[in-house]
């Protein structure tokens, strides 16, 4: 078993981070496996060296040790670029110039007042640039053109789903779908299947490369988990829906699909999920007030 903890150095670790890190660490140690650490710092504007240093201090204070060197996403840009080249050459990506406002307006235009459809990556993209890009650079010509380096690139999910999904025979008949195993989510434990139709309608054309980053969370996390040999991905239940994107990319790039554990979220007294802006629940503040690592474990229900 190989697990990992992959925080972003954009703020202090809080109780939710502690729960996720301890859970992944203890799972690996109990199985005689490895616990790895990855710093997800592709957001260069928000990532700060002082926050990264505090991550190390907080984890050591909690009594957690990691195996091998720390992986840093900012040092893996060539790997992300190579994967984008592969997907571009296969005609699976297209250029998008839409702003968030453009997308919101396009989604609200047909039915005024109705909530726009939402997926694991936010509002489901309406395909505005899909037609424009196809007209300017058809599929047959795409592989002959160099991938644009300073552009936002989206995954053509209709095309990608057809390539990623496998034929499965289940109750109710056969279907084309991707599958992954879930071990923690209270409502989805066991094998989960997402059909080709669901990938198109409920996920849509997600961004795989942002103009200012050269990659995206979805692409980098898939490539990094594979590079580190992670067998069990342990993360919050808020990322459960995004697993459909990640397994699709694993199939397209011929990478192994790990087992997933989407654990419960640590919330405040009002039931609100903790975020990095919740400095009052930062581990460093608990530590400064005299709390012990054992106290933190009790606070998060371990």
CA–CA distances in Å: residue 264 to residues 6, 54, 166, 194, 227: 17, 24, 30, 22, 27
Domain locations along the chain: 1-74+267-302, 76-258
Selecting from 3.20.20.70, 3.40.50.620, 3.30.300.30, 3.30.420.40, what CATH number does the domain 76-258 have?
Answer: 3.40.50.620
Q: How much is the pLDDT for 231?
A: 98
Around Cβ 73, how many Cβ atoms within 10 Å?
25
Q: Who contacts 96 (Cβ-Cβ below 8 Å, separation ≥6)?
A: 125, 128, 129, 133, 151, 152, 153, 154, 205, 207
Assess whether pLDDT exceeds 60 at residue 136.
no
Q: Do domains 1-74+267-302 and 76-258 have the same CATH topology?
A: yes
pLDDT digits (tens, 9 = 90+) for 263-287: 999 877 666 666 655 565 799 999 9
Closest C-alpha among 131, 133, 125, 132 to residue 104: 125
Q: How far apart are CA 57 and CA 49, in angstroms?
A: 13
Model confidence at 140, pLDDT cuts 50, 70, 90, reads very low
Identify the DSSP state of 200: I
Pick the residue with more confidence: 114 or 84? 84
Q: How much is the pLDDT for 116?
A: 74
Q: What is the DSSP string of 218-238?
A: HHHHHHHHHHTT-SEEEEEGG
* Cα 171-177-180 angle, rounded to 5 deg: 90
Q: How far apart are CA 122 and CA 204, in angstroms?
A: 10
pLDDT digits (tens, 9 = 90+) for 206-260: 999 998 888 999 999 999 999 999 999 999 999 999 999 999 999 999 999 999 9
Six-digit token pair at 50? 């002082």
Model confidence at 144, pLDDT cuts 50, 70, 90, reads low
pTM: 0.90
Q: Just give the CATH number of 1-74+267-302.
A: 3.40.50.620
Q: How far apart are CA 266 and CA 283, in angstroms?
A: 13
Is the separation of the CB atoms in 115 and 104 below 8 Å? no
């Amino acid at each position: 078993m190989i697990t990992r903890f992959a925080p972003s150095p954009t703020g202090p670790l809080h109780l939710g981070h502690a729960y996720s890190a301890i859970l992944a660490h203890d799972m690996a140690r109990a199985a005689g496996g490895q616990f790895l650490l990855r710093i997800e710092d592709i957001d260069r504007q928000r990532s700060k060296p002082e926050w990264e240093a505090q991550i190390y201090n907080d984890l050591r204070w909690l009594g957690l040790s990691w195996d091998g060197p720390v992986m840093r996403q900012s040092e893996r840009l060539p790997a992300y670029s190579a994967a984008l080249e592969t997907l571009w050459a296969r005609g699976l990506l297209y250029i998008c110039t839409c702003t968030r406002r453009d997308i919101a307006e396009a989604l609200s235009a047909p039915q005024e007042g109705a909530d726009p459809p939402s997926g694991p990556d936010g509002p489901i993209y309406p395909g505005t640039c899909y037609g424009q890009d196809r007209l300017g650079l058809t599929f047959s010509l795409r592989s002959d053109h160099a991938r644009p380096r300073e552009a936002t690139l989206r995954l053509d999910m209709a095309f990608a789903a057809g390539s990623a999904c496998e034929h499965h025979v289940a109750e109710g008949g056969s279907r084309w779908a991707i599958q992954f195993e879930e071990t923690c989510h209270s409502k989805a434990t066991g094998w989960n299947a997402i059909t080709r139709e669901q990938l198109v309608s409920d996920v849509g054309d997600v961004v795989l490369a942002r103009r200012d980053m050269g990659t995206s969370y979805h692409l980098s996390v898939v490539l990094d988990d594979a590079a580190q040999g992670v067998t069990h991905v342990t993360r919050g239940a808020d990322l459960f829906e995004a697993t459909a994107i990640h397994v699709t990319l694993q199939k397209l790039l011929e990478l192994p699909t790990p087992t997933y554990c989407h654990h419960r979220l640590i919330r405040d007294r009002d039931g609100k999920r903790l975020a990095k802006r919740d400095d009052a629940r930062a581990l460093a503040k608990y530590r400064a007030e005299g709390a012990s690592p054992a106290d933190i474990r009790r606070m998060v229900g371990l």
